[in-house]
Structure 1
Amino acid sequence: MHSAVNLNELVAAIGDAIIVSDANGAITLWNPAAERIFGFSENEALGHSLDLIIPERLRQRHWDGYHQTMKTGETRYAFDVLRVPAVHKDGSALSIAFTVALLHSPQGALTAIVAVIRDETKRWAEERDLRKRVAELEAKLSEMEGKGLRP
């Protein structure tokens, strides 16, 4: 049996950020998870540029890709996860992973891009620490082997 789903309720309840931006990159939807992840309230985000959450050094690359997607109607991130840095309202760095979906008008024109975003800052930091620890252990092992010692 199929039951109706209230899409507004779903968008509000989901744990990942859902952000919709129009053809010019202005934010038109900002769910509670986006507020939690990025620190901007819905009122602070709506109508503003995605530059709110994009590190300055990456903005040109972002906008080049964004405008290319709007022009061609194609994105490789519909299924491939994109992992990039982002910025919290307080200026702290975030590591996010997201996919995008393209929204079209009834006539088929591309009108908006939806990003479904997960905060991976903690996981990324844990992985970085593990990589560092593995490198340290490999260096110690190499040093021991160089001295003819066995671990």
Structure 2
Amino acid sequence: MTEIDAIDRTLLRELSLDAGQSAGALARKVNLSQPATYRRLRRLEAAGVLAGRWLDLDLERLGLGVTVFLGIKLATKGRVSLQDFERAITAIPEVQSVQHVLGLYDYRLRVVARDLPDFERVLRRRIMTLPGVGEVEANVLLSEEVRPGPI
């Protein structure tokens, strides 16, 4: 396990607020030189603590006004491999995330679409036609508030 000190925690907190900050901007916030901050970021990346940086897109402005969370229970776990299902479901561009979970459903998906008729098309023509799909439960996202977790 990688040792993480107070400066590393501050860097991670700052990056969780704005992942696009430069090493120079971060250095000023933690009172280190830019090269020292850069080395810390590289060390956190090499250790796998800092696994990537994400772009936060406004889906509605991109014409994707509906987000639906799907719970999927596979009907025939023995006949369809989980890898085959995961490969097929991740090939659908509207599926933004796939989570293999324990509980009532085998998978939770985050699906985006232009509107509800577009979502219905994706569900009927792309998701429900995949081999092994059994029960499906859909929850339409009404609003979302994302807060960075405590570090």
TM-score normalised over the length of structure 1 = 0.23
TM-score normalised over the length of structure 2 = 0.23
Tell which has more relative contact order, 1 or 2 (C-alpha 8 A, sep 6+).
2
Structure that is richer in strand per residue: 1
